[in-house]
DNA sequence: CTGTTAGCGCCTTCAC
DNA sequence: GTGAAGGCGCTAACAG
């Protein structure tokens, strides 16, 4: 199997438009300092060639990875899957988060993690090292796992905690509706557009209790989302 | 937000083990030509430092991306999500595929695509250019879309067609059980470990009809999976 | 505002 | 069997 290279690269676009790689890059990243006419010229070249930047390359050059990591409890996920009753996690959160990501040019990658295992940190660290996500989303029972939130905080990776009310690092939001994940993702995206984490998990932990309160607010009377 | 670099790289491992980067790389990729003792030394250095290769970097240097792309029908997915009845796609296929991927060090990324739209090709091409997946998995109604299979075949990207019996490029397999996706993924992985594609979609197309046949075989009397 | 230079982390090709 | 050099595609510094 031949080594697969990118079909059309930024280089081709630059040649086609008769500008430097940098200018193309600037257009891609929608930077201000580009003359409108240049922008148009480059853009048309991009369209003509059907160019799409490689996220791997983008990430390699120190830019964003355009990847959001979502952590989900493994055992539970597998059990649900076997029982074919996994109407839980995916439909409520992952899909919502996925849609938000897609709308923003991001990709959501779901990672299954063993909670009741002291490997959690290692697993998380490995996933982060491999994927280098711009953000992470946590779901129960990971949302309040200090080992996880601590690691994320230390690495300065933006993350959201779904189904958690406790204050602390990261954005905490209760699942007051099916839009929670979407909300979470967008918050992360809005934050710094970098390192967003998402740990998705079954909603029958602390979460379930709050659910009875319906669309209630948090203890401060504000919508269920703390900064 | 500071430019995020990889914490521990192959370079650190090499230094720690007192060998060249190359040797470390060889150990990572499990290549034969490495003396057992060297292998052990390097491996322990890897463990000690908690090193995990960056898939972005791996992909950049012409290696695998360790990413499998799964295509799913967008509208349908969103509709299901809104109606909260999406017990369909994820639990049956995606989760299975996800598990298989995880077991093999791969990641499954789900991409929502508009089927009844002539943008399909563009969308697929864009996703491929951005992600550069090692393989793709197609699900109804994409499994038999010639625009999709054609593009994949032309680019020589291995792919599986779930819920499709028609012969042609790629691996076709019917969903004779909840293990279909898992099966599909493993086939792709087994293939050439490169470019695996997966287009997941609701199971109410041609698929539904076959389902009545239960775990039946295909018209050739073989298990429901053609090469 | 635009072009040039350097380098990200890793793997491939070629020497030793 | 191992090391050294080169480059993948892209962007972040610096010039001009």
Closest residue by Cα to residue A57 from A16, A5, A101: A5
Better pLDDT: A159 or B189: A159
Inter-residue contact A60 to B56 (CB < 8 Å): yes
**Whether A95 and A163 share a structural domain:** yes
Q: Over the stretch A106-143, which tens digit does the pLDDT of each residue have?
A: 999 999 998 776 788 999 999 999 999 999 998 878 88
B202 touches chain A (CB under 8 A): no
Beta strands B67-73 and B107-113 are: parallel
Residue A185 domain-assigned? yes
**Whether A193 and A107 share a structural domain:** no
Q: Does B155 have pLDDT greater than 80?
A: yes
Nearest CB to B130 within list A53, A94, A131: A53
Inter-residue contact A184 to A160 (CB < 8 Å): yes
In this complex, the answer to whether residue B61 has its CB under 7 A from any atom of chain C, a nucleic strand, is yes
**Whether A189 and A162 share a structural domain:** no
Residue B2 domain-assigned? no
**Whether A44 and A32 share a structural domain:** yes
Strands in chain B per DSSP E: 67-73, 107-113, 135-138, 159-162, 171-173, 196-198, 225-226
- Residues B91, A110: C-beta atoms closer than 8 Å: no
Instruction: Provide the CATH number for the domain around residue B120.
Output: 3.40.50.2300
Reported residue count of chain A is: 227
**Whether A140 and A82 share a structural domain:** yes
- Residues A56, B65: C-beta atoms closer than 8 Å: yes
CA–CA distance, A21 with A23 (Å, rounded to integer): 5
- HEC letters along B174-206: CCCCCCHHHHHHHHHHHHCCCCEEECCCCCCCH
Nearest CB to A112 within list B7, B102, B129: B102
Query: Which residues of chain B have a CB within 8 Å of the CB of A99?
Result: 78, 81, 112
Helix, coil or strand: residue A117: coil
pLDDT of residue A10: 96
Distance of CA B176 to the CA centre of its chain: 20
Instruction: Provide the CATH number for the domain around residue B42.
Output: 1.10.260.40
Better pLDDT: B189 or B140: B140
Residue nearest to nucleotide D3 (CA to C1'): B20
- Residues B90, A92: C-beta atoms closer than 8 Å: no
**Whether A53 and A95 share a structural domain:** no
Structure tokens at B75: 């509208």
B107 touches chain A (CB under 8 A): yes
pLDDT of residue A55: 96
**Whether B198 and B102 share a structural domain:** no
Q: Over the stretch B198-227, which tens digit does the pLDDT of each residue have?
A: 443 333 344 443 433 333 333 233 333 333
Structure tokens at B161: 């067609």
pLDDT of residue A164: 74
Residue B225 domain-assigned? no
In this complex, the answer to whether residue B132 has its CB under 7 A from any atom of chain C, a nucleic strand, is no
**Whether A102 and A163 share a structural domain:** yes
- Residues B132, A56: C-beta atoms closer than 8 Å: yes
A101 touches chain B (CB under 8 A): no
DSSP 8-state class, residue B62: T
Report the interhelical angle of B21-28 vs B36-49 (nearest 10°). 90
**Whether A84 and A156 share a structural domain:** yes
Structure tokens at A62: 């120190």
**Whether B76 and B151 share a structural domain:** yes
pLDDT of residue B93: 66
For chain A, what is the radius of gyration of the CA atoms?
20
Kindly identify which residue of chain B lies nearest to residue A90, measuring between CA atoms.
B90
Q: Using CA atoms of A34, A38, A44, A46 in order, give the dihedral in degrees to the nearest 10.
A: -50
Residue A73 domain-assigned? yes
**Whether B78 and B127 share a structural domain:** yes
DSSP 8-state class, residue A49: H
Q: Residue B214's domain spans which residues? A: 177-219
Residue A199 domain-assigned? yes
pLDDT of residue A95: 76
pLDDT of residue B55: 96
- Domain count across chain A: 3
Query: Which residues of chain A have a CB within 8 Å of the CB of B108?
Result: 109-110
For strand C, which nucleotides have at least one atom less than 7 Å from a protein CB? 1-5, 7-13
> A189's torsion region: left (phi>0), alpha (psi -120 to 50) or beta?
alpha
Which pTM does this prediction carry? Answer: 0.81
Residue with tokens 């790689």: A21
Residue B207 domain-assigned? yes
Kindly identify which residue of chain A lies nearest to residue B57, measuring between CA atoms.
A60
Distance of CA B166 to the CA centre of its chain: 21
Structure tokens at A97: 């988060």
CA–CA distance, A107 with A112 (Å, rounded to integer): 16
A102 touches chain B (CB under 8 A): yes
Residue B111 domain-assigned? yes
Nearest CB to B57 within list A50, A60, A78: A60
**Whether A107 and A164 share a structural domain:** yes
Report the interhelical angle of A95-103 vs B74-83 (nearest 10°). 140
Residue B4 domain-assigned? no
Each of the 227 residues of chain A gets a pLDDT tens digit; together they read: 445 677 899 999 999 999 999 999 999 999 888 999 999 999 999 999 999 999 999 999 988 999 999 998 888 777 766 665 545 554 566 678 888 899 889 999 999 998 776 788 999 999 999 999 999 998 878 888 999 999 999 999 999 988 777 777 777 666 555 566 677 777 776 654 444 444 433 333 444 434 333 333 332 323 333 33
Report the interhelical angle of B120-131 vs B146-154 (nearest 10°). 30
């Amino acid at each position: 199997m031949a080594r697969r290279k990118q079909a059309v690269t930024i280089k081709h676009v630059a040649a086609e438009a008769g500008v430097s790689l940098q200018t193309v890059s600037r257009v891609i990243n929608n930077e201000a300092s580009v003359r409108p006419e240049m922008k148009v010229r480059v853009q048309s070249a991009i369209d003509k060639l059907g160019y799409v930047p490689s996220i791997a390359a983008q990430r390699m050059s120190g830019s964003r990875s355009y990847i959001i990591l979502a952590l989900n409890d493994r055992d539970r996920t597998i059990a649900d899957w076997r029982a074919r009753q996994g109407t839980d996690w995916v439909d409520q959160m992952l899909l919502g988060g996925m849609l938000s990501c897609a709308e923003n040019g991001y990709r959501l990658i779901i990672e299954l993690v063993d909670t009741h295992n002291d490997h959690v940190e290692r697993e998380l660290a490995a996933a982060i090292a491999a994927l280098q996500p711009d953000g992470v989303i946590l779901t129960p029972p990971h949302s309040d796992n200090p080992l996880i939130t601590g690691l994320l905080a230390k690495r300065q990776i933006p993350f959201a905690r779904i189904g958690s009310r406790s204050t602390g690092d990261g954005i905490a939001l209760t699942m007051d509706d099916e839009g929670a994940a979407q909300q979470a993702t967008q918050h992360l995206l809005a934050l710094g557009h970098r390192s967003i984490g998402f740990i998705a998990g079954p909603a029958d932990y602390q979460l379930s209790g709050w659910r009875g309160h319906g669309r209630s607010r948090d203890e401060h009377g504000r919508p269920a989302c703390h900064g």
